[in-house]
Amino acid sequence: MPPSKRPKRPDKPDEPDLPGGPTLDRLPVQLIDADLDSLVLEGTDLQSKDASGMQLSESRLSNVDLTGSVLTRATLRDVIWSEGSVANARADRATLRRVRFERVRATGMILADCTLESVSFIECRLDLANFRSADLRRVRFEECRLSEAEFYGTKFDSAVFESCDLTGATWSGAVFIRSEMRRCDLTGGRDLERLRGVRMPLEDVIRSAPQIAQAAGIEILED
């Protein structure tokens, strides 16, 4: 019999493309449906702003505070965002392509019905974040806090979770293609049977065996 083919590894996210050139360091007064290109912002307070429909491309943000803001239908393309906050922001139906978040606080952020393609979250707080019915392609979560995150109906294609806190996360209706989890805590997760198709190191499977067994309806006998 011919040897079985090894499962294809997840595709890596494409890095943001930030060409050199003139940059903007100020925002217009009106952010709704604004078209912003080559923006450089640092230490800016934009809490509770309405930026619905905003298009932001080829930009760098550092320590920008968008806590509680509205980013519904926004488009971010080729953006690097370090530190700052989008906690409790609404970004439903947004589109993110080639975006990298580093050490950004996004507790309670709503990303429902979003499209995320080639997006990286590095050392971010995404606890209580809502990814309901989102489409995630080539997305990487590294050393992120995702406790009690909502992944109801989320589609993952080439997603990687590495060293993440996923305690209490909800996976109802989630679908995984070419995706991996490594060194993640799944304690208290709901509907873990939806992780079908995820690749995990054996030691991770053993560590999470009680949660996986419970999700599969297996009763563990105590000697």
If phi > 0 it is left, if psi is from -120 to 50 it is alpha, else beta; for residue 191 that is left
What pTM did the predictor assign?
Answer: 0.90
Kindly give the confidence (pLDDT) of every residue in the chain, 223 residues in length, as a single tens digit, with 9 standing for 90 and above. 455 566 678 989 999 988 776 677 778 888 999 999 999 999 999 999 999 999 999 999 999 999 999 999 999 999 999 999 999 999 999 999 999 999 999 999 999 999 999 999 999 999 999 999 999 999 999 999 999 999 999 999 999 999 999 999 999 999 999 999 999 999 999 999 899 889 999 888 888 777 777 766 666 667 6
Q: What domains can be seen in the chain, in order of their start residue?
A: 35-215 (2.160.20.80)
The Cα 41–Cα 22 span in angstroms is 14
